[in-house]
Amino acid sequence: MSVGVLALQGDIQEHSAALLRLGVRPVEVRLPKHLAQVERLIIPGGESTTIGRLLALYDLIEPLRSRAGRDLAIWGTCAGAILLARSVLDTKTGGQPVLELMDMAVRRNAYGSQLDSFEQPLAMPVLGEAPLPGVFIRAPQIETIGPQVTALATLPNGAIVAAQQGRLLATTFHPELTGDDRVHRYFLAL
């Protein structure tokens, strides 16, 4: 199976390392010709405004939109989750290019400047009973989801931190930084 990691900006190496631990050698996707080689794509965390601009610059938006959820499974972590959203709730940087693939609205930097980053064990029932280490770094929050989207994990306050729409997966946290590869394994089976 060929799995790509979008390699424009962000924590590309950490996702690649997790895939290698699972026996998958990822393709680094920078151009449409790389995207054409893969059946699954991880969009890493980083800066969604930068990744969005580079997606547009390298002509990746249209090929992603036409294949997403069909012959291309996509998982976005953090900035990647923002890029998958139908709408981004952020009055300061409105208008950034996003892929608009999942029926959800996401608020960037939702935990404010004082609580930019935190760790929180998460229950994610599709992965089994053991709690998942949740690492949140200037994380977005999934504020609303449409009827085709399933919430897979929430914080104790009810905030959605993982969601799935068919073969599209979004997590607002960073499993690639933890050594717990269960979300990667789940994505490889989507």
- Indicate which residues carry an active-site annotation: 78, 174, 176
> Kind of pairing, strands 117-122 and 73-77?
unpaired
Q: How far is the C-alpha of 136 from the C-alpha of 148, rounded, in Å?
A: 25
CA Rg value for the chain:
15
Count, residues near ligand GLN per rule CB under 6 A:
11
Sole window of 1-9, 15-23, 39-47, 149-157 interacting with ligand GLN (rule: CB under 6 A): 39-47
Q: Whole-number minimum distance, CB 129 to ligand GLN, in Å?
A: 27
Stretch that binds ligand GLN, among 44-52, 56-64, 123-131, 146-154 (CB under 6 A): 44-52
Residue number with CB closer to ligand GLN (137 or 160): 137
Distances from the Cα of 172 to the Cαs of 32, 60, 62, 83, 154, in angstroms? 26, 22, 24, 11, 10
Is 108 among the residues that bind ligand GLN (CB under 6 A)?
yes
Q: Which is nearer to ligand GLN, 67 or 109 (CB)?
A: 109
Near ligand GLN by CB under 6 A: residue from 4, 26, 46, 76: 46
Q: Which of 26, 45, 134, 175 binds ligand GLN (CB under 6 A)?
A: 45
Which residues, 6+ apart, have CB-to-CB distance to 63 below 8 Å?
Answer: 32, 35, 36
Q: Which of 48, 141, 165, 171 binds ligand GLN (CB under 6 A)?
A: 48
The answer to whether 132 and 182 are in contact (CB under 8 A) is yes
User: What is the footprint of ligand GLN within residues 122-151 (CB under 6 A)?
Assistant: 137-138
- Point out which span in 21-29, 40-48, 123-131, 156-164 binds ligand GLN (CB under 6 A): 40-48
Whole-angstrom Cα distance, residue 140 to residue 19? 24
- Residue 107 lies near ligand GLN (rule: CB under 6 A): no
Percent helix, percent strand, percent coil in the chain, to nearest 5: 25, 30, 40
